[in-house]
A and B are shown apart, each in its own frame.
Chain A
Amino acid sequence: MARSHPVVGSLGPYVFAMLAILSIWQLAVVALAPPPSILPSPTLVGQTLLEEMSSGALFVNAGISLARVSVAWVLSAVIAIPLGVFMARSRLAERLIDPVIELFRPISPLAWIPLAILWFGIGESGKVFIIFVATFFPIVLNTVSGVKRVDPVLIRAGRVLGCARQIDLFWRVIFPASLPSILVGLRISFGTGWAAIIAAELVASNSGLGYLIADGMEILRSDLVMVGMAAIGVIGVLVDAVFKVLQTRFG
């Protein structure tokens, strides 16, 4: 019966996962009785979570992290979407650019930390750069495949319906036809960017969820580390849900 309700239906698995993790965790704490700095109990983490929330610190840090990821992600989209379109429409461009992308793609955003510091210093731009790297490739690749997979008959239909210029054809047919795939790229890349927030905020940060975790580690507060981790997980799921809604709307 619960399945008939859409919200309950989609939240159900998450609630179940949460309960399962909590009970295994609690069992481990009871059975092994580790010191709290190694494995704090769920109640201790719950308390820390409430503290961090009521002081507002958690929201401020989460907001800062979200802002960094958003800026980098928008920047990435602004460059990656046109690049992807260009690659998909021009054989030469694809043959020149694709190998470069394939070479850079396997390099983890973490590997860029030293260069990010050298090039951009320890300010905001270095962090944005690292997330930019993390978000760039999924957008390019999904844009390329989306534009390439536009049904040729739709392009023909566009042309016999008066899209004489390439630019009209692009805006009226090719772009809307590839939009679902581009949206998938944007969604995936926000996820990869969000996952890279720790890497970005490891670099001399004094704010953000990554900082919260790094700081917790330094002062041996595993409960704080876990609050930061939980926040990243929950926000990641929420943002993804928003994208899914957008996707069904426009896809």
Chain B
Amino acid sequence: MKTSEQAVTRTPAPAIRIDKVSRHFHDAQGEFVEALRSTSLDIAEGDFVAIVGPSGCGKSTLLNMLGGFDHPSSGRITLDGQLISGPDIDRGMVFQDYALFPWLSVLDNVMFGLRHTQSREDARAIARQWLDLVGLADFERKSPRQLSGGMKQRVAIARTFATNPRVILMDEPFGALDALTRRFLQQQLLKIWREHRKTVVFITHSVQEAVYLATRVVILTARPGQVKLDERVDLEHPRQINDPKFRDLETRIFDALDEELAKTFKLEASDGYAD
């Protein structure tokens, strides 16, 4: 465990390179909306990057571009030097509303991404391993409809990790869960991440969640989003939320965020006057 952690910190070449990426839209009324402006960010192999920012600052837009569902208006995003052109199984995604296939059993959901490359038997074996890891081995024959939100998200996490992607993208994956379930899933995700060292990009509204999980916390500015603060979190796992260092970091991040929140409110107020 220790050795791999050190190996990660000295990884030289960035896995993901977000290079001066801008993205703007024309909304339903034809108004010009600048979501991201010339944002740059390098993400190293094995990094767990949490992205925090005011609502509407372009976090999902950025993640969708990493997923290949959307494209920059200008600038480039590369993975291992390759331009991201569309969705691919090497960039897994965990969605806030789980996105399980309701017509498939829990096991078949986890097997879904394995069927392209594995025989049925191998796929089933891998899927079972992952279900076991998230503690849902006994639920493999159940329908997703029979599961609670937290269990659904564990299935979705198993389904994504099972395909062994290079990068895992998560857009507020625990946003819809209650505090206790959320805490449990954070611990489970952390356990899996520490074992498998995937590169993770994780969007959250919770500063505490970001500092608890990530190796790096990136704060975006109010719209148009840009990197405001980029903090390494060099705290040992398991992190204690009342550790002074944890508190310090949290405060620093909150301060940065507060400035941006103030701007967001102004932005919304001026939007209001514009109509």
Contacts and interface: CB of A to CB of B under 8 A. Distances in A.
Interface of A: 151, 153-154, 156-162, 164, 168, 172-173, 176-177, 179, 250
A159 B93 CA distance: 10
B254 interface: no
Nearest to B87: A159
12 contacts: A151-B99, A154-B101, A156-B67, A156-B87, A157-B93, A157-B95, A160-B93, A161-B89, A161-B163, A168-B116, A176-B101, A176-B103
B25 interface: no
Given A162-B163, A172-B112, A157 B89 contact: no
A172 B97 CA distance: 20
A157 B93 CA distance: 7
B37 interface: no
Given A153-B95, A153-B97, A172-B112, A160 B67 contact: yes
B88 interface: yes
Interface in B68-94: 69, 86-89, 91-93
Interface residues of B, number: 24
A160 B103 contact: no
Chain B binding site: helix, strand, loop or mixed by DSSP?
A: loop
Nearest to B169: A160
Given A151-B99, A160-B113, 11 more contacts: A153-B97, A154-B99, A157-B101, A160-B87, A160-B88, A160-B92, A160-B93, A161-B89, A162-B117, A164-B89, A177-B103
Chain A binding site: helix, strand, loop or mixed by DSSP?
A: helix
B59 interface: no
A179 B103 contact: yes
Given A154-B101, A177-B103, A179-B103, A160 B91 contact: yes
Contacts of B23: none
B163 A157 contact: no
A153 B156 CA distance: 13
Nearest to B104: A176
Of A161, A164, A176, chain B has the most CB atoms within 10 Å of the CB of: A161
